Amino acid sequence: MVTWLKELDEVLRGHKADPRLLADGTAHICIKPLVFASVRLGIIYGLFMGLYAVVTRTPPSLVQMMASAIKVPALFFLTLAVTFPSLYVFSALMGVRLGPKDTLRLILVPIAVNLAVLASLGTITGFFTLSTSSYQFMKLLNFFFFALSGAIGLKILLSMLSRLEEAQMPSMTVPAAPPQTDQAPGSEPGSPTPASQPMSRERLMARRTFQVWVVIYALVGAQMGWILRPFIGSPDLPFEWFRNREANIFVDVARTLGELLNL
């Protein structure tokens, strides 16, 4: 089997998230095959997105199809470039001992999963492209597919970080003090000492801090997609590599939903 396909298959089957492998770090995750797989998967879904401009325009806009094939993988790797420094800091706050290269390996796994899910949905996008002419519907369908695949990818990332944290972080519970003859009234032998409680709260705060980073990552990804638009290509507008910067992705989704429902 081709190296990148084998690496992708192991990622999708969860082999890369094996706690026994993660206990030794992320060296078992190969960067080049995952990057190659992610780019190819992004191109595949981009071609399906751009197909709308081919079947709804006269003459067909093949250049929009090519532009979409370039923009989809670019969307993920540009988002990675913007958020990578904060991921490194937030994972350090969680207590996961990873260097920059190890952190890169870690985030490439959910990116590959994200794009694999998208590519698998490409035939559905193509089906609806060939069976409807509604631009608003196609925009919302693609937004839903990106949101769905993104949620799956971020869930994978959170799971791997949690396993890394458990495997690499030393126990944060302070050992119980030796039993003493003078115990406080009502206390039981072997009960945990109060000193362990602040450490537990610190670990909980680290997890919540990283959850905040996940929200930031999702927002950056959404806005990056807005900056790189158009991906589908409105049938009423000429081809452009990029549209003018206005509003944001969430305002556009609300507006598109209103147009689709005639609100």
Tens of pLDDT, residue by residue over 13-64, are 988 888 888 877 788 899 999 999 999 999 999 999 999 999 998 889 999 9
Is the pLDDT confidence value at 175 over 50? Answer: no
Banded model confidence at residue 195, pLDDT cuts 50, 70, 90: very low
pLDDT in the model for residue 202: 60
DSSP letters spanning 226-254: HHH--SS--TTS---SSPPP-S-HHHHHH
Is the pLDDT confidence value at 199 over 60? Answer: no
pLDDT in the model for residue 134: 92
Q: Above pLDDT 70, what percent of the chain?
A: 83
Burial level of 230, CB count in 10 A (0-12/13-18/19+)? buried
What's phi and psi for 164, nearest 5 deg? Answer: -65, -40
What's phi and psi for 245, nearest 5 deg? Answer: -75, 120
**The token pair that represents 152 in the structure block:** 């799956």
Q: Where are the domains of the chain?
A: 3-169+197-260
Arithmetic mean of pLDDT, 251-261: 85
CA separation for the pair 113, 184 (Å, rounded)? 54
| CB half-sphere exposure, 138, CA atoms < 13 A | 26
CA separation for the pair 213, 110 (Å, rounded)? 15
Q: Which residues of 95-119 are buried (b: 16+ CB within 10 A; e: fewer)?
A: bbebeeebbbbbbbbbbbbbbbbbb
Instruction: Render pLDDT for 77-123 as a digit per residue (tens, 0 to 9).
Output: 999 999 999 888 887 777 777 788 888 998 999 999 999 999 999 99
* Residue matched to tokens 């680290």: 206
Is the pLDDT confidence value at 181 over 70? Answer: no
CA separation for the pair 195, 198 (Å, rounded)? 6
CA separation for the pair 18, 14 (Å, rounded)? 7
250 to each of 73, 224, 228, 255, 257, how far by Cα in Å?
21, 12, 15, 9, 11
244 to each of 57, 210, 223, 230, how far by Cα in Å?
22, 33, 13, 10
Maximum alpha-carbon separation in the chain = 91
Query: Cβ(231)–Cβ(74) under 8 Å?
Result: no
Query: Cβ(113)–Cβ(5) under 8 Å?
Result: no
Arithmetic mean of pLDDT, 123-144: 94
Pick the more confident residue, 148 or 247: 148
